[in-house]
Amino acid sequence: MQDLELSSAEASAMVDAVMTHITQAIDAVGNGPVDTSSRADAEYLARMVEAPPEAGSPLAPLLDKLFGDYATRSLDPTSPGFMGYVPGGGIFHAAVADLIADTLNRYVGVSAVAGAYVQIENNVLRWFCEIVGFGAESGGYLTSGGSLANWGAIVAAREARLDGDLARGVIYASDQAHHCVAKAARLAGIPPGNVRVLGSDAAFRLQPEVVRSAVNEDLRAGLRPFLLVASAGTTNTGAVDPLAALAEVADECDLWFHVDGAYGGFFQLTERGRLALAGLSLADSVALDPHKTLFLPYGTGALLVRQRQTLRHAHATTADYLPPPSAEEAVPDFSDLSPELTRPFRGLRVWLPLKMHGFGVFRAYLDEKLDLARWLAAELQRMPEVEVLAPPELSILAFALRAPDIEAANARTRAVLAAVNAGNRVMLTGTMLRGRFVIRVAVVSYRTHQQHLQLLVEDLHEAMVDMQL
């Protein structure tokens, strides 16, 4: 029988072997195609089905596959040319932090057993609360991503406002809100018919009077409006809802005010971001996604609440086999504030890069993304064939090709998108905006710089010339 306990020499050898591949992968980022024409097809995937291994096999061929064939048969969201969806560059420091956290494997669900590590995660959450503008009563927890942060907000709001009357509870969000909001509502037990999808304005923002009239209608119908979800940067166009005005309506209508800042929230670190997100501090809860705009690898989101007591109210339970809960003012037991008991030490992958570089570096990178999106919008606006339908409020923009009618414009825009992506130097995605097919550009990766946007502009020009536009 092989020993599961590795000697320190064996552990080092394992990490060294992995490191050889990692250094090659890091050196190769940006030199290869963003996407491959030979993605794993059904036949390939069928060949990958494996029986449970009874005996072990050597590491080297496993690593060869993981860093070789499998990696090259995929879309590369770590590439600087990846500007589709919401990119995820994934800074390496966080991977190292995960190695440390997983090696130590301390228990961070309750503070009594590993208080210092819990305090590290608590520090991260306090920093985030400060960024958002929350006060001393605030708190939160780290999640695996924005979807679960939004779900957690709905659960907290539901517990604070509905007294168990889920059937009559109503949620308000715009037609531009991320689809995870409706999904989260369903998972939180709110009937799907009680999620009001409200029309946004010409700039894709939710206007307060639309909320006000929808709430009044539901009140007349005997329902219980309890939650307003605003977007601090939509996925489609990066639009930021008028947060201060929506906070006012939420207050007036007695709604919990949640802001989905999964994409845009961390722009609050920048001066321009703070202007765009004015009113964020008035929220009852905010979802952030460090795996988007703090450039971390996938698997880290955050839910912050103005009153951490609301999280405790929603989650705290006791059990005879657990240590007594920590006092309210002490380092928190995350198990009392969140759905998980045993949990990975997510805080370290945020803390380590922030301690090593300071927020200043992240602020500078985010400022660069704002500059790049503005530069690109100006370039696009100079092209007579192009219409910028959503100029960047933050670092996402959307444009389409002009044509005599919508059908033709949509077909032309789709063709240009396909041609640009076929160049494989950049990767963009499209979306629908009120019947118009548009190309989105999401400048979010820390690796994306001016020269990569230059490639995008070149490839766009080339596509339009080829199509004789």
Which one, 147 or 281, has the nearer CB to ligand PLP?
147
152: contact with ligand PLP by CB under 6 A: no
Location of structure tokens 């946004």: 200
235: contact with ligand PLP by CB under 6 A: yes
82 DSSP 8-state letter: B
263: contact with ligand PLP by CB under 6 A: yes
Which one, 140 or 301, has the nearer CB to ligand PLP?
301
Which one, 245 or 396, has the nearer CB to ligand PLP?
396
259: contact with ligand PLP by CB under 6 A: no
Nearest approach in angstroms of CB 444 to ligand PLP is 10
Among 84, 145, 169, 273, binds ligand PLP (CB under 6 A): 145
Question: Residue 289's closest CA among 143, 118, 175?
Answer: 143
346: contact with ligand PLP by CB under 6 A: no
296: contact with ligand PLP by CB under 6 A: no
The CA-based angle 282-284-286, given to 5 degrees, is: 90
Among 80, 265, 301, 430, binds ligand PLP (CB under 6 A): 301
Q: Centre a 10 Å sphere on the Cβ of residue 42 and count the other Cβ atoms it contains.
A: 7
Residues 390-409 binding ligand PLP (CB under 6 A) are: none
Q: Report long-range pairs for 429-433 (Cβ below 8 Å, ≥24 apart).
A: 429/84, 429/85, 431/236, 431/398, 433/204, 433/236, 433/237, 433/389, 433/390, 433/398
Residues 351-380 binding ligand PLP (CB under 6 A) are: none
Distance of CA 374 to the CA centre of its chain: 21
Which one, 84 or 325, has the nearer CB to ligand PLP?
84
Which one, 122 or 147, has the nearer CB to ligand PLP?
147
Instruction: Give the contacts of 63 (CB within 8 A, at least 6 positions apart).
Output: 17, 18, 21
Nearest approach in angstroms of CB 255 to ligand PLP is 19
Quick check: helix, strand or coil at residue 398? strand
Q: Centre a 10 Å sphere on the Cβ of residue 186 and count the other Cβ atoms it contains.
A: 14
By the criterion CB under 6 A, which residues form the site for ligand PLP? 86, 145-147, 150, 178, 180, 231, 234-235, 260, 262-263, 289, 301
